[in-house]
Amino acid sequence: MKFRNSLKNVFKFIFCPTLATIHSPLCHYSLPLAAFILAASFMSAQSAFAYLSISAQTDRTELTITENLYLTVTVSANSGSAPEPTIPPMSSFNAYSSGRSQSISIVNGKITTSVSFTYILTPRFVGRQTIPAISVYNGREKAMTPEIEINVTKSAPVKPPAAQSRPQQPARQNAADGAARQTAAKADIPIFLKAETDRKTAYPGQQINLIVRFYTAIPLTSNPQYLPPAYKNLIFEDLPPVRNGEIAIKGIRYSYSEIKTALFGLSPGPASVSPASVIAQVQSDEQIDPFDPNFFQKFFSMNGAQGATKEFRTSNLTLNILPLPEGAPASFTGATGKYTISSELDRKQTRQGEAVNLSVTVSGNGSLKTITAPKLSNLTNFKVFDTLSSLSISKSNDIISGKKVFTTVIVPRSEGHIRIPPVKFSFFDPEAQAYREIETAPLELKVEKGDADAKNFNFTQPGAQAVSATGSDIRYVSDKASAPLYANAARALGGVAWQVHILPAAALLLCLWFSNIQAFRLRNPQLFRFKGARAAADKDINRAEAELKAGRLKEAVSVLYDSFMEYLSGKTGKKVSALTTRQAGELIMERFPHTDGYYLEEIRSFWEQLEMVHFSPSSLTAQNAKDLITTYTVLIEMLEKEFKKK
């Protein structure tokens, strides 16, 4: 409302000078006053924008390669909801969502929301690693966290106990173990990936656990990178942390890493889980010819931190989502699981016309994100405003649970002891295969008479009490009429040439033109990312050269690595950093089908060179960094021409 009134004033004082038919003294304002009002109006509008902040912290800054790191990202806003942060691709960590907690407060009509998102990070490489800046955007404002430096060290070797002192314990059988034994029984496979679900059929909203296990009987040079599958007719929640264990299959001792994901069906019908992938770096047995021109590159690639990169994929999984049975209660809105409900008021005593917060909390196990607000009925004695919701999720024991709080502002219309009736909530219990309807306890609110004591009048019945005036909205300052100061000033400025009065309108049209350009940018983000990729790459090349001159070789290569990933992402419209070189090549051919295979080979070669020095900085020299900058500059020039082919 403040912003709209400000704009009305702007239009009045900008356009009045150009309308000769209006004779009000206000219409004689000239450019200086219009410009002042324009600036004041936009300052007022700016103050009405929402406040947004974000912070990130870890439970520690140093850990071993076999440990997990907890990252907590907190987003705060003075609105009914806080946007979810954007976690950038992390080449040095695997990230899993561990839960969220949200709090919302309404005090004197002011809404404040704070949401904490928890992630578990598993390091992939030993050394100094960086958690990149995390951003959040609400459509008007953008906030970012600073980067966080993490030191990852090697784990201490553990000596196994003597063979005679280790009692043989039977391995626990489950779906993942059985599938792994079937796969390994076909051939002596030293490394493979398997995926299973704990059930093949489920009701909408019923939890299904997806288990992905990565088995290896050979050493790896770093922790593998997990690329999760895509889902159809399913929503998902991570179930960290990653579990590790050992199992014997056909006399071969395998180490495995287990990742679990909770799935929830959306609607009755078929559902599917696409293949998941794991990218691992395995020690290579290839013999190197010392006279090979690429001897040093192969030597550092095989004996450094990388080894040979291989990708492993699971099979496609299909599920069946069953329809819910008939006979649902009237209060049923689709919730599936096991829940309880409660309600409370932020105070038990108030005054007539003052706001009170009514909170209804639904707690239990199930897909809490899809639960809608229970209906509030028989609140005729209150003025009821919109309902706001806050969500808290926990993932202990591989079960999604938590609570969802629905907060409604109600204002009592009358005084006395007012009873708030119970709130009903229904859900489908998949274990009992039956509907349950629960309700809250009734609430009592004592409402006292408001501060302003008003007397009621009946204007429709005969003999109504006469109405007498008690005051007037108009107060005369002086009985003698005289021209105000601003009228004299406006009359003096009225002699300014008419061309001057066009300037405010021209300024407004210019603002509208810029606004249309910005709207076009928002509607077509990929077009501007495509066109701006080259300019961004040129800036990054200058940054890399500056880092090289300062002697910071590792930082220079990091700039090139991030720039190359962003350049390819900007051109293709998808995040390339999470793909393998083969997948990136397929994406480029899909986006630019006329690209010559020579350039794809150049992209792959440059990518491998960057990764070698990025993850093995000990082999980096000033000359190598300089050559990489030169290669990148030439490669960008060639790709710009190649991508323009029709």
Question: Are the C-beta atoms of residues 93 and 51 closer than 8 Å to each other?
Answer: no
Q: How far is 176 from 194, CA to CA, in rounded Å?
A: 7
- What is the model's pLDDT at position 524? 61
DSSP string covering 583-622, please?
Answer: HHHHHHHHH-TT--HHHHHHHHHHHHHHHHHHH-GGG--H
Contact 39, 24 (CB under 8 A): no
In CATH terms, 523-642 corresponds, of 1.20.120, 1.10.260, 3.30.420, 1.10.490, to 1.20.120
- The sign of the torsion formed by the CA atoms of 472, 478, 479, 481 equals negative
Single-letter residue type at 467: V
What CATH code is assigned to 334-448?
A: 2.60.40.740
223-251 exposure pattern, b = at least 16 Cβ within 10 A, e = fewer? bbbbbbbebebbebbbbbbbeeeebebee
Q: b/e per residue, 406-427, with b = 16+ CB within 10 A?
A: bbbbbebeebeebebeebbbbb
Is CATH 3.65.10.10 what the domain over 52-153 is classified as, yes or no? no
In this prediction, residue 345 carries a pLDDT of 94
Domain 173-321 has CATH 2.60.40: yes
| Sequence-distant contacts of 621-624: CB under 8 A, at least 24 apart | 621/553, 622/548, 622/551, 622/553
Pick out the chain residues at pLDDT < 50.
1-49, 158, 160-173, 185-187, 288, 295-297, 299-306, 453-467, 474, 476
Which amino acid is present at 578? A
pLDDT tens, residue by residue, 261-295: 999 999 999 999 999 998 887 766 555 455 555 54
Q: In a 10 Å sphere around its CB, with 0-12 CB exposed, 13-18 middle and 19+ buried, how is residue 304 labelled? A: middle
Residue 96: what pLDDT?
84
| CA pair distance 373, 365, nearest whole angstrom | 17
CA distance 13 to 15: 6
Whether pTM > 0.95 for this model: the answer is no
pLDDT of res. 1: 44
What's residue 488's pLDDT? 66
Q: What does each C-alpha distance from 224 to 120, 209, 244 come to in angstroms?
A: 15, 22, 13
297: left (phi over 0), alpha (psi -120 to 50) or beta: alpha
Q: What is the bridge-based pairing of β-strands 201-202 and 317-321?
A: parallel
Work out the number of other CB atoms within 10 angstroms of the CB of residue 132. Answer: 18
- What is the C-alpha to C-alpha distance for residues 178 and 197, in angstroms, rounded to an integer? 12
Q: Which helix (H) or strand (E) holds 444?
A: strand 443-448
- Please give the pLDDT value at position 283: 66
Backbone angles phi, psi at 511, to 5 degrees: -65, -40
Q: List, for residues 515-549, the tens digit of each pLDDT value.
A: 777 776 666 666 667 778 888 889 999 999 998 88
